[in-house]
Each structure stands twice: as structure tokens, then as C-alpha cells.
């Protein structure tokens, strides 16, 4: 847990991620000081890649060990690398900024996943109906899919199918967030004003795109499902965040 007592990362013996391996007798665990990585979608082509590792800032932390009903709290201190002349305030400013950028990137990934899953359901539904699908319902589904794609194209460069494609097509908001993250994470320092300014502009654009998506999910999918119900067919289910 961080200095404020907020959970950073949990390691358990029965998890698919962050698995903790123990054996009978003495055990040793070394935390790599890394915060959870950013959300990622398999096969996504990004020039800057997903935001990398965020290293804990110097400060006082706490580890909580739990075995069955027994719990033990162990305080420990992360020390600053003496080779760097970086103040505590700057370390904390960098950490908070990187977490902020990573979280906004995560929001874009979740949105892209929702768009793709919703659009796939619409396509599969129409294909299953075949020639029996009412023309008005098919037109509604096609229109909704196009609107979802338009939002996805704001968040991600959908034309990028290989690493070279990002040289031919402009990168989108997710890739730009990755670039801001990399720049601010390039050393031990507080984020420069330019990085904060660029992030603010990108965050506004991401939020606008997410608002458009939410409207489509709230009203567009609702109306499409209403039409499906009227035809007594299975509805479209929006993926959880």
C-alpha cells in the first residue's frame, strides 16, 4: 500500500496475474516497485506502445501479509537513488502524473473493447437472421455500427494493421497518450509544463469521445434492443467496463 494506505498491488497464491509462489519453509518475496500496468488489447498497433511501468516514488509504504485468518502489517521505506538530484515533491508529481495518464489510457482501451464487442454482437445478430432480418432493423444496426466505428476512429488508428502503417496514417488519442507518458517517464523529474498542457488537451478530446460512446450505448443500443424485442429476438449485451 502507498503512503496514504491505498492499495497498489495484490499478490496471491491463486491468481492468474501477480501470482505469489510459496513453498514449505522460509520464503522470500521482492517487490519490483512497479504499479499495475496499463490496459491493453491484443493485436493493437501503436507507434508509442502502451504506457510502460510506473516505479514507486521514494517514501514510506506498508505491506500486508495475510495467511488464513492471520494478518501482519510491515512498514518499509523506499529510498531515492542518490545519483539523481530530484526532490521528493518532484518524485511525487511525476508519479501522480504518470498514474493520471495511464488511467486515461485505460479508459480509451475499455472504450475500444466495448465498441468492438458491441459492434461484433450487432454484426453476428444480423448475420444470424439472414434474409429473415427486417430491413428496418438491419438498417438500424448498420447505422449504429458506423457510429460506433466513428468513435473508435477518434480513439485509435483503425487503419494500422502493421508496425509500418503508423508511418502512413496519423496516430490517434490512445497513441498520443502513450507518447506523453513515455516523455514524462524518461527520467526522474517532475512532468514539464508542456507535457501537462498536451495531456490536458488530449484528456478533453478523450472525454468528448467517451461521452459520444456513452450516448450510443445508452440510447442507440437501447433503441436497437427495443426493436429486437418487438421482433421477439435475443438482445445485444453491452460489455462490462
Digit-by-digit pLDDT tens for the chain (241 residues) are: 999 999 999 999 987 888 898 899 999 989 999 999 999 998 899 999 999 999 999 999 999 999 889 999 999 999 999 999 999 999 999 999 999 999 999 999 999 999 999 999 999 988 988 888 888 889 999 999 999 999 999 999 999 988 888 888 999 999 999 999 999 999 999 999 999 999 999 999 999 999 999 999 989 888 888 888 887 666 666 766 6
Q: Where are the beta strands (DSSP E) in 45-169?
A: 59-67, 70-78
Which own/partner contact pairs does 164-169 have at CB distance under 8 Å and 24+ positions apart? 165/45, 166/45, 166/46, 166/47
Name the residue ranges covered by the structural domains of the chain.
88-230
CA distances from 87 to 32, 33, 76, 193 (A): 22, 19, 20, 17
Residues counted in the chain: 241
Q: What is the pTM of this model?
A: 0.90
Amino acid at each position: 500500500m502507498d503512503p496514504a494506505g491505498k492499495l497498489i498491488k495484490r499478490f496471491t497464491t491463486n491468481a492468474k496475474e501477480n501470482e505469489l509462489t510459496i513453498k514449505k519453509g522460509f520464503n522470500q518475496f521482492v517487490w519490483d516497485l512497479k504499479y499495475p500496468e496499463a490496459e491493453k488489447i491484443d493485436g493493437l498497433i501503436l507507434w508509442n506502445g502502451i504506457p510502460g511501468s510506473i516505479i514507486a516514488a521514494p517514501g514510506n509504504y506498508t505491506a500486508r501479509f495475510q495467511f488464513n485468518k492471520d494478518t501482519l502489517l510491515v512498514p518499509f521505506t523506499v529510498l531515492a537513488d542518490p545519483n539523481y538530484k530530484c526532490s521528493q515533491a518532484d518524485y511525487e508529481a511525476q508519479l501522480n502524473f504518470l498514474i493520471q495518464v495511464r488511467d486515461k489510457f485505460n479508459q480509451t482501451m475499455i472504450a475500444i473493447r466495448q465498441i468492438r464487442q458491441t459492434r461484433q454482437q450487432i454484426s453476428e445478430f444480423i448475420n444470424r437472421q439472414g434474409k429473415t432480418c427486417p430491413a428496418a432493423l438491419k438498417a438500424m444496426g448498420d447505422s449504429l455500427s458506423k457510429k460506433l466505428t466513428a468513435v473508435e476512429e477518434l480513439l485509435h488508428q483503425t487503419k494500422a494493421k502493421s508496425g509500418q502503417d503508423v508511418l502512413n496514417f496519423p496516430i490517434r488519442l490512445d497513441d498520443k497518450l502513450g507518447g506523453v507518458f513515455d516523455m514524462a517517464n524518461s527520467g526522474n523529474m517532475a512532468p514539464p509544463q508542456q507535457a501537462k498542457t498536451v495531456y490536458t488537451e488530449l484528456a478533453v478530446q478523450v472525454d468528448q469521445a467517451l461521452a459520444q460512446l456513452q450516448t450510443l450505448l445508452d440510447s442507440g443500443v437501447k433503441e436497437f434492443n427495443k426493436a429486437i424485442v418487438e421482433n421477439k429476438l435475443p438482445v445485444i449485451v453491452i460489455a462490462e467496463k
